[in-house]
Amino acid sequence: MEWAADLAVRGALTIQRPANFRQQFLFCRDPGWAPDHYAVYSNLTARYWDVDFSGGVYANAPGIADKNQLFEIRRYDSTWWTIKWVGGFRLWSYYVRPNRTYNWHNPLEAKTDPLTGNHLFRITPTNLLG
């Protein structure tokens, strides 16, 4: 590891990332959370997902402040997954879906709509979550 630190100090350490690196997310787990609960980390913003008062999903949280920032990631079938915000009113299901009508940078929202094809995501590799 000292060789990496030496290269970094000299400005000679380079990292090769995939071309779509900025579109990728990391699903972060803690043993104290429910088995299917994850914090979602965005490579684009270098921050975690959070949900605002209107249901907008933003990747702007610098850390995980509480369990309200957790999302339930479940396999829907052999191809598709659902992402549900678990920080809302417990009797409702806040499934994450795209909303392309937003005029700002983040087109995701967590709403209490019935689960439809608009709420399905493809996660690769397919064994990402075990």
User: What is the number of residues in the chain?
Assistant: 130
- What are the residue ranges spanned by the domains of the chain? 24-121
pLDDT at 12 > cutoff 60: no
Residue-wise pLDDT tens digits, 92-122: 778 998 887 766 556 788 888 888 888 898 8
Residues 70 and 37: beta-carbon distance below 8 Å:
yes
How far apart CA 11 and CA 28 sit, in angstroms, is 30
CATH of segment(s) 24-121: 2.80.10.50
Half-sphere exposure of 102 (CA within 13 A, CB side): 14
Tens-place pLDDT, residues 26-84: 888 888 888 889 999 988 888 899 888 888 888 888 988 887 889 999 889 888 999 99
- The more confident residue out of 8 and 98 is 98
Give the pLDDT score at 48. 92
3-class secondary structure, 71: strand
